[in-house]
Structure 1
Amino acid sequence: MSGGRVATETDIASAASSRRYTENAPYVHKVGVPPKQSLFKEFTYMFKETFFHDDPLRPFKDQPRSRKLLLGIQAVFPILDWGRRYKLHMFKGDLIAGLTIASLCIPQDIGYAKLANLDPQFGLYSSFVPPLIYAIMGSSRDIAIGPVAVVSLLLGSLVQNEIDPKHKPEYQRLMFTATFFAGVTQFVLGFFRLGFLIDFLSHAAVVGFMAGAAITISLQQLKGLLGVKKFTKKTDIVSVMRSVWTNVHHGWNWETVVIGVSFLAFLLLAKYIGKKNRKLFWVPAIAPLISVIISTFFVFITHADKKGVQIVNHIERGINPPSVHKIHFTGSYVGIGFRIGAIAGMIGLTEAVAIGRTFAAMKDYHLDGNKEMVALGTMNVIGSMTSCYVATGSFSRSAVNYMAGCNTAVSNIVMSIVVLLTLELITPLFKYTPNTILASIIISAVVGLFDYEAMILIWKIDKFDFVACMGAFFGVVFASVEIGLLIAVAISFAKILLQVTRPRTAVLGKIPRTTVYRNIQQYPEATKVPGVLIVRVDSAIYFSNSNYIRERILRLLADEEEEQKANERPRIQYLIVEMSPVTDIDTSGIHALEDLYKNLQKRDVQLVLANPGQIVLDKLHTSDFANTVGDDKIFLTVADAVMTLAPKMEP
């Protein structure tokens, strides 16, 4: 053996097998022609795979009518399914989890409501009704429902662009209208099984958007953290920092700064402790409520509110008042509400579905994304009629819910009951809660949204993904939330278009002592077959890329011919196109292959196809291109093609 390597029994057996394979000229398998599919069958298959790939009707097959009705009701209301199997011992975990996330959500809800430019009680309203609806209709055991920072900021910035928050009645009406249409958008996407649309927002774009939102939210909280009264309504970093520094001598309140910074340090320390020791998850969970209690008591006994420390003042007592009469169903604000609601609904879906799938994978159970969308949409539609704004799954609360040992959605019911008791009994106690503590709670909550480790990983894996990530990030930080979102979507679509219009191609060579052909750049030991150029196309061939693929193959052929002439090797007589990655082809793609065939004929080069799939081969036969090339030029594998053509090549 070359290189001093000792031949093993495996090598000898492989070599002998290879010699027998060549010398005995075994049978070359012919590529089968698929049966002709009717247009109706083809359309039905495409429709099913697009919208019903998970076969949702499978549980209903071969079932009596009464059983089908019961299964249908359970599909809409999963609580009727898991509720029958609910045991008393499971309630302990749900009770602890529900109380834990309630202690976290109450101070967060008050802060998030301010982030949305709403009165504090609206945040609590949104953690009372929506979680109850979700517990009945949702299929996730771990998601904790309520307002979240990113959606609150998004709604606040978009709605205030239309109506000044000082005009509370009209501002609230547009907020409820946007929430209604957010729910409608989510419901429609789930009901018509269009959940795949949210996948067009790439993971990299979401990471960048969330990180930018974390920075923007934190900057917005400087108003409360520093006690600044006159603050910009813009969200970009330049406007915010200008507003902060112009107030440094006269606008800052040192008592507010001391309270805010002290408790922010406490909250971050609690978060660090919970991250280091998972058994201490309850420390960061109850830290916000402890901070509110201590700071409120401190302000009350020291009368710090009379020294410039801004406080919450009044939170309306009582449960959610009806708001269906406040929703715009006619007039100019309907279109505005729909636009804002659709954006907020999509962002809420992206976050909730991602959270649900994460925890479902950790606990090894199935989560139906379309059912989740229907549940989220229904709860937001009902929420808009009960004085709530957009609620969705919260990652921080869901993580606490999971670590606290929740077993079912009963933890959401427990949380809702605690919020109900808070609204009915103890809202007056929040009167002296300083705004700076709410700012500290929000800043500590959104720190986790800045996932620098994910950004580093994205940079290592895919540079174009990193561009999408940074585009979304800088768009949010330096422009606005909606501009950042627009950039994220635009770059995600640009990546899809680039990959579709400029697919990869590879020149293949033979791996020594095998009949396997692989990319010569990936496998340096792979050798080219004299007189044959083997090209693999790594994409479907559509109108968007057919011309590029044809030109790319011809360029590879020209480069190979120049190299052959320079090295005085035999000329290229056959061009083999390896088509196993080509999942589909359209009319433009077939025309491109026809043009390629004609061009090769002029060069006295034969076109050969290897391993076309069923759909592709069916279309090649329908268009008569298979007959043009010749059935003897279509092979099952590249190895079959080379073995058959080698004896026919000119010396």
Structure 2
Amino acid sequence: MRSLAWVPGIEVATTYRAKWFPKDLVAGIVLTTLLVPQGMAYAELAGLPPITGLYTSILCLLAYAVFGPSRVLVLGPDSALGPMIAAVVVPMVLAGGDPGKAVALASVLALLVGLFMTVAAVAKLGFVADLLSHPTQLGYVNGLAVTILIGQLPKLFGFSTEGEGLWADIKGFVTGLDETVPAALAIGVGGLVVILGLQKLLPRVPAILVAVVGAIAAVTLMDLDVDVVGPLPQGFPPFTIPTVSLHEFGLLAAAAVGITLVSVTDTISTASAFAGRTGQEVRGNQEMGGIGAANLAAGLFQGFPVSTSGSRTAVAFAAGAKSQVTGLVGAAAITLMLVLVPGLLKDMPQPMLAAVVIAASIGLADVKGMVRLWRQRRIEFALAAAAFVGVAVLGVLPGIAWAVALSVLNVFRRAWWPYRTELGKPENVDGYHDLQQYPEAARTPGLVIFRFDAPLIFANARTFREEIRHLATDGTRWILVAAEPITDVDTTAADMLEELDQELNAKGMSLVFAEMKNPVKQKIDRYGLTRTIDPAHFYPTLDDAVAAFRRSNA
């Protein structure tokens, strides 16, 4: 039974209720109206033929229905992953472009992401999603949104540019404006206005479907001279084992690490947002297993890396989705379209696909979040801004590495320079409190009560020692450490405490602890610190320690 826990689709099949099917069917059909145009648009965003977006959508939906634990999450091509895929695939394809080569590279990338996800799920490494803090994730996503928007502007205006990076895209767009195709611009801007307008004014109306149908009708009826998608291959995507060179494999593996991290982070956050609404618990490791299976399936059928889509999940949920059957309906609908009417979308204009991607980038951006950080905590706003600049200056893939580095450095900064303060006893308030909050709090002559709000480790041992030395003024007899916030003491900090205690004893002072957690006290004993620090100088509460000080100095 434990092995079946990794195949939630079996549980869904055995517990499925017939009354759910009408709602799942409707939700699946509604979802398809979003899956098709977005899948094609995000494939082009990734530098791949539009058909691969449909292949990817079919296979990831089928695989997640079997291996995914959430009943409502919808996977598929993602606007956040598109630039990351393009950043590694496009430069590796020879000049002039080889769609077959690009598809093979993207498929291997999907297989690697699926492998990494599966290994991480088995090893229970769901915590890796925490490597991106919210501020750095916010800055990264906003940088990504700007990069996507700028990169799609030439296609919206009916021309193409060459160049890598945000600044090259801006320069190419500005210098290429004289090549603007008026009909393409009208289709693209008109479609973008329809999508954004309907999403705001009539959110229940399938805005993208309306815009796509309108664009196809305009091109067909008015015989507009704009680039179109063209006929799509007929039939179900073929099973394919992609091959690449060893050098290419190494580059793809490095990129797959970043894509895996972004996909895990996005999935865990989206799953958490919808778990409360459905009464389910977030199972991070199983979610990684489900996404891993989806990527493996996509990679074997000419697909590319996928992630959870918050927008498509919201559409399915609002349409009444009850289970993964919604995704199966969507996969079946796309397959039927490819088998029976592959020419249905052949007249879809390329500027319309650009409009779909730009609308997604606008939805991806979170300016309000940046403003909120500015108002709430400037240091975290600075982290978000640095992550934003990292994406803009370094590029999409280096930008994710930069964002992770910023998150880790921020954790280290907090451990290195934690909050520390002196405590006193305020009038008419129980207990001992921060003198910065209660500057008039009473202090006992000869006794300093010091609180250090962090584990005591190698990174902050020097800071702790310098603070104690600063407090060890003439007339001080005891320096009492309120140790409740100290959750750990490593060997470097233990050596520091031993030297510090000897230094204070030489001045006629004592280093005393109160409210130390039992696991930390056990480490203190194991390190042998009680050879120098008097064992009697560990008290269960601050009141006990203060009372002992007063007795010894009566």
**TM-score, normalised with respect to structure 1:** 0.82
Aligned residue type for 2:151: Q
Equivalent residues in 2 for 1:285-304 (5 A)? 286-304=206-224
The answer on 1:644 being equivalent to 2:539 is no
Deviations 1:458-511 (A, max 9, x none): 223332221221111122234411232222112111111111222221111113
Alignment-derived partner of residue 132 in structure 1: 62
Equivalent residues in 2 for 1:235-384 (5 A)? 235-236=165-166, 238-249=167-178, 251-274=179-202, 281-283=203-205, 286-305=206-225, 309-324=226-241, 326-328=242-244, 331-384=246-299
CA distance in 2, matches of 1:293, 1:426: 15
The answer on 1:194 being equivalent to 2:125 is yes
Alignment-derived partner of residue 46 in structure 1: none
Deviations 1:492-536 (A, max 9, x none): 111111112222211111132455111111234432222210001
Task: Kindly state the Cα deviation for residue 159 of structure 1 after the two structures are TM-superposed.
Answer: 1.5
Task: Kindly state the Cα deviation for residue 602 of structure 1 after the two structures are TM-superposed.
Answer: 2.2
Aligned residue type for 2:149: S
Aligned residue type for 1:403: A
Alignment-derived partner of residue 553 in structure 1: 468
Q: Which of 389, 407, 412 in structure 1 is aligned with 2:322?
A: 407
- After the TM superposition, which of the residue ranges 188-197 and 313-322 deviates more from structure 2? 313-322
CA distance in 2, matches of 1:320, 1:513: 75
Alignment-derived partner of residue 497 in structure 2: 593
In structure 1, runs of 5+ residues without a counterpart are 1-70, 275-280, 562-570
Identical amino acids, percent of aligned pairs:
27
Alignment-derived partner of residue 305 in structure 2: 390
Aligned residue type for 2:145: A
Q: Secondary structure at the match of 1:576?
A: strand
Verify the 8 A CA contact 2:258 2:400 in the aligned structure 1: no
CA distance in 1, matches of 2:101, 2:460: 50
Verify the 8 A CA contact 1:119 1:315 in the aligned structure 2: no
| Segments of 4+ moved more than 4 angstroms | none
Alignment-derived partner of residue 32 in structure 2: 102
Residues 138, 591 of structure 1: CA spacing in aligned structure 2 closer, same or farther, 3 A cutoff? same
Equivalent residues in 2 for 1:23-172 (5 A)? 71-164=1-94, 166-172=97-103
In structure 2, runs of 5+ residues without a counterpart are none
Equivalent residues in 2 for 1:175-214 (5 A)? 175-214=106-145
Q: Secondary structure at the match of 1:310?
A: coil
Aligned residue type for 1:131: L
Verify the 8 A CA contact 1:520 1:527 in the aligned structure 2: no
CA distance in 2, matches of 1:235, 1:400: 33
Alignment-derived partner of residue 496 in structure 1: 411
CA distance in 2, matches of 1:425, 1:297: 20
Deviations 1:190-223 (A, max 9, x none): 1101111221111111111111111111111112
CA distance in 1, matches of 2:328, 2:504: 70
Deviations 1:244-266 (A, max 9, x none): 221222x1011111111112111
Alignment-derived partner of residue 568 in structure 1: none
Verify the 8 A CA contact 1:380 1:390 in the aligned structure 2: yes
The answer on 1:462 being equivalent to 2:377 is yes
Q: Secondary structure at the match of 1:126?
A: helix
Deviations 1:214-240 (A, max 9, x none): 1111111112210013x023231x322
Verify the 8 A CA contact 1:139 1:372 in the aligned structure 2: yes
CA distance in 2, matches of 1:635, 1:467: 41
The answer on 1:174 being equivalent to 2:91 is no
Verify the 8 A CA contact 1:123 1:147 in the aligned structure 2: yes
The answer on 1:535 being equivalent to 2:466 is no
Task: Kindly state the Cα deviation for residue 327 of structure 1 after the two structures are TM-superposed.
Answer: 3.1
CA distance in 1, matches of 2:246, 2:525: 56
Task: Kindly state the Cα deviation for residue 627 of structure 1 after the two structures are TM-superposed.
Answer: 4.2
Q: Secondary structure at the match of 1:327?
A: coil
Q: Secondary structure at the match of 1:508?
A: strand
CA distance in 2, matches of 1:423, 1:524: 74
Verify the 8 A CA contact 1:352 1:393 in the aligned structure 2: yes
CA distance in 1, matches of 2:468, 2:258: 43
- After the TM superposition, which of the residue ranges 469-478 and 114-123 deviates more from structure 2? 469-478
Task: Kindly state the Cα deviation for residue 174 of structure 1 after the two structures are TM-superposed.
Answer: 1.5
Verify the 8 A CA contact 2:513 2:537 in the aligned structure 1: yes
Residues 365, 525 of structure 1: CA spacing in aligned structure 2 closer, same or farther, 3 A cutoff? farther
Alignment-derived partner of residue 16 in structure 1: none
Verify the 8 A CA contact 2:268 2:284 in the aligned structure 1: yes
Alignment-derived partner of residue 453 in structure 1: 368
Deviations 1:424-483 (A, max 9, x none): 122212121111111111111221211112112222333222122111112223441123
CA distance in 2, matches of 1:432, 1:202: 43
Deviations 1:570-617 (A, max 9, x none): x21111011111111111111111111112112211211101111211
CA distance in 2, matches of 1:189, 1:467: 31
Task: Kindly state the Cα deviation for residue 420 of structure 1 after the two structures are TM-superposed.
Answer: 0.9
Equivalent residues in 2 for 1:413-492 (5 A)? 413-492=328-407
Q: Secondary structure at the match of 2:472?
A: helix
Task: Kindly state the Cα deviation for residue 547 of structure 1 after the two structures are TM-superposed.
Answer: 2.0
Task: Kindly state the Cα deviation for residue 351 of structure 1 after the two structures are TM-superposed.
Answer: 1.0
Q: Secondary structure at the match of 1:149?
A: coil
Verify the 8 A CA contact 1:515 1:639 in the aligned structure 2: no
Verify the 8 A CA contact 1:532 1:575 in the aligned structure 2: yes
CA distance in 1, matches of 2:398, 2:249: 22
CA distance in 1, matches of 2:356, 2:527: 65
CA distance in 2, matches of 1:485, 1:185: 17
**TM-score, normalised with respect to structure 2:** 0.96
Q: Secondary structure at the match of 1:506?
A: strand
CA distance in 2, matches of 1:622, 1:138: 46
